[in-house]
Amino acid sequence: MKRTLTRRNFTRMSAAAAVAAGLAQPRHAAAILAQTPPIGVKEPDAIASDSGSCAPAANAPGDKWTKDTPDLVSAALANLPPTPSGPFQSSWDSIEQNYKDPDWFRDGKFGIMMHWGIYSVPAHASEWYVRYMYGGQVLAGDIQGGQDPDVVGWHTKNYGPPTKFGYKDFLPMYTAAKWDPDAWAQLFKKAGAKYVLAPGEHHDGFSNWDSAINPYNAVNYGPHRDLDGDLIKAVRKVGLKTGISDHSFFHFVFIPALPGSDEYDPKWAAFYSVADRSNAARVKFMHDWVAKRIETIDKYQPDMLWFDMNTDHMTDPLKIRVSDYYFNRAKQWGKQVGISAKTAAWVTGQIMDYEREGRAPMELTDWIWQPDDPITNKFGYVEGQKPYPANQFVWKIVENVSKNGNLLLNISPRADGTIPQEQQDVLLAIGKWLEVNGEAIYFTRPWTRFGEGSVADAAAAAMVKIRSTGTFAGRLNGQNQSGTGVSGGGISRNGYTPADIRFTTHGDTLYATVMNWPGDAPVTLKSLATSQPVKGKVKKVELLGHPGTLKFTQDAEGLKVTFPLEKPCDYVYSLKITGLKLT
């Protein structure tokens, strides 16, 4: 029986396909190797000279690439800019000894990223459109909501057959004509975000910055503008931290071959990375991947590099080179920086990222992390998509921060550079909540327990069951997790009651965020019962956004707090408790 293709079994199939090819533990797009096209279509001299690449040839450039080897990886590292001097010295051990998580990330709690690119033009299926339009099997999650599962047919109907109208033909329509980076930056600041990641390069291989390495970029084509540079400049002007996202390491194996298409046009062959499957092409690809990271590091001095890539340790020398260059350069700048990536892409020196909240930890962790979670059900802009309600993202912020995590919210701009009003409304609603309750979020650290109530109990029970399978990967978890009534991040599937409470601390101040309004009944914090081993004595209880103090009593059942008649915000309410000795 044919199995529905989902992201999860796509990952499993990918692993099997790549293991057969000799790759270690790939995931997501690195995976189902496409139909092998003819070899030997060379990159035009004009494009090669424009790219600024100094990539060396492989030892056997005419050989067909089947897997990465130490020789190919070593060849890719030749002729790169020298690593700046500093404490990071070309090994994971050196990185582990010298790396420190940036304080700004631990303090900031809420960031914004985006998927914005050529795929925003057709705005169909998902940001994987380039794969689908050339015949790649469509993931089940990308044909929901009435989407046509036959993307090739949809493309043919709307633009012509892909052999006549290729992906690159969308470039004139990727205009960013209505884009105002300063307006974006103001919106993100009003949303309460503390860091913003510019959309560097997706699986399609198109760079959104002014690149001397990759000629297929937003200055040479499409918008004819340095999108990343302009956004980073605007974001910095309003005082937010910046970064750049990169999904491009999958590009070499991402697009299926379609004979007769523009994939074999000499001018565009290097863009698609389909026609030339030689070792030399692979070496150049890996070399340029490192060179582009160095380029963006020096050009924009980002506070974070964010990667969607696999756990293949064969390519560790490439990642170590990027890390050494970035971390040593940051020492010269005198600033704290971080690298965020999924699974074990980085052996160390990595802020964990989980794709979607569904994979986020459901318990208090001793590592910091963030899920990249979309504001709609897709990452890239798709016609007709609607964002989830703002209160769901407030829940995620509260749940994640209580467990030592952040939230990295993905938005989906249109090709013309506008953010749909529905998405803006969600961002502004989050910001409105943070304006009242931000004191319980920003600059806080977890308490000894993340929360109490039936949802926290359900999350704990789910983790017992998950661990009993013997397959849970802990920090490196890459699969959705859930239990009765809860999903990833410990998010309730059925809403919350006033007995569901999440904790954070700042010094000796304890914040207790009540997940639903209690009405006339007092809220009881069982974790602060007189029988609990908590030092100090509660002296004052306040409700953020409400003037004055609240009435409370404390006994063997807990700290019982009477709420005022009027709500200070629309959902989720933060108590500020002083008098305890937490430090």
Under the banding of pLDDT at 50, 70 and 90, the label for residue 477 is confident
- In the prediction, which pLDDT does 478 show? 83
Whole-number mean pLDDT of the chain? 90
Strand order in the sheet with 501-506: 451-452, 501-506, 509-514, 573-580, 536-543
Alpha helix locations (H) across 26-100? 45-51, 70-76, 92-98
> CA-to-CA distance for 231 and 215, rounded, in angstroms?
20
Average pLDDT over residues 199-210: 98
- In the prediction, which pLDDT does 62 show? 62
Percentage of the chain surpassing pLDDT 90? Answer: 85
Higher pLDDT, 109 or 51: 109
Under the banding of pLDDT at 50, 70 and 90, the label for residue 26 is very low
**Lowest mean pLDDT, pick from 297-301, 330-334, 466-470:** 466-470
> CA-to-CA distance for 454 and 451, rounded, in angstroms?
10
Average pLDDT over residues 477-493: 93
Average pLDDT over residues 539-552: 98
Whether residue 74 is predicted with pLDDT greater than 50 in this model: the reply is: yes
3-state secondary structure of 100: coil
- In the prediction, which pLDDT does 130 show? 98
* Spatial CA neighbour of 200 closest among 287, 110, 309: 309
**Lowest mean pLDDT, pick from 73-77, 89-93, 434-438, 471-475:** 471-475
- In the prediction, which pLDDT does 311 show? 87
Whether residue 5 is predicted with pLDDT greater than 70 in this model: the reply is: no
> CA-to-CA distance for 490 and 408, rounded, in angstroms?
16
Whether residue 405 is predicted with pLDDT greater than 70 in this model: the reply is: yes
> CA-to-CA distance for 239 and 244, rounded, in angstroms?
17
Under the banding of pLDDT at 50, 70 and 90, the label for residue 147 is low
> CA-to-CA distance for 34 and 283, rounded, in angstroms?
19
Alpha helix locations (H) across 69-136? 70-76, 92-98, 103-108, 129-133
Average pLDDT over residues 285-294: 98
- In the prediction, which pLDDT does 249 show? 97
543-550: long-range pairs with CB below 8 Å, 24+: 543/568, 543/573, 543/574, 543/575, 543/576, 544/436, 544/437, 544/439, 544/440, 544/568, 544/573, 544/574, 544/575, 544/576, 545/436, 545/437, 545/569, 545/574, 550/575
Question: Distances in Å between the alpha carbon of 75 and those of 61, 69, 71, 312?
Answer: 11, 10, 6, 17
Whether residue 87 is predicted with pLDDT greater than 80 in this model: the reply is: yes
- In the prediction, which pLDDT does 142 show? 85
Pairing of β 552-555 and β 482-483: unpaired
Under the banding of pLDDT at 50, 70 and 90, the label for residue 144 is low
- In the prediction, which pLDDT does 97 show? 98
Structure tokens of 484? 């009765």
pLDDT digits (tens, 9 = 90+) for 102-112: 999 999 999 99
* Spatial CA neighbour of 57 closest among 78, 38, 40: 78
- In the prediction, which pLDDT does 479 show? 86
Higher pLDDT, 304 or 311: 304
Domains of the chain in sequence order: 92-117+165-440 (3.20.20.80), 451-580 (2.60.40.1180)
Whether residue 491 is predicted with pLDDT greater than 90 in this model: the reply is: yes
Higher pLDDT, 30 or 303: 303
The Cβ-side half-sphere exposure at 127, using a 13 Å CA radius, reads 27
- In the prediction, which pLDDT does 221 show? 98
* Spatial CA neighbour of 355 closest among 343, 367, 338: 343
Average pLDDT over residues 347-355: 96
- In the prediction, which pLDDT does 432 show? 98
> CA-to-CA distance for 186 and 206, rounded, in angstroms?
27
| Helices (runs of H) and strands (runs of E) counted in the chain | 15, 19
Under the banding of pLDDT at 50, 70 and 90, the label for residue 135 is very high
- In the prediction, which pLDDT does 34 show? 31
Average pLDDT over residues 133-149: 81
Which residues are CB-neighbours of 65 under 8 A, at least 6 positions away?
A: 72, 277, 278, 279, 281, 282
> CA-to-CA distance for 176 and 156, rounded, in angstroms?
25
Whether residue 69 is predicted with pLDDT greater than 60 in this model: the reply is: yes
Whether residue 7 is predicted with pLDDT greater than 70 in this model: the reply is: no
- In the prediction, which pLDDT does 303 show? 98
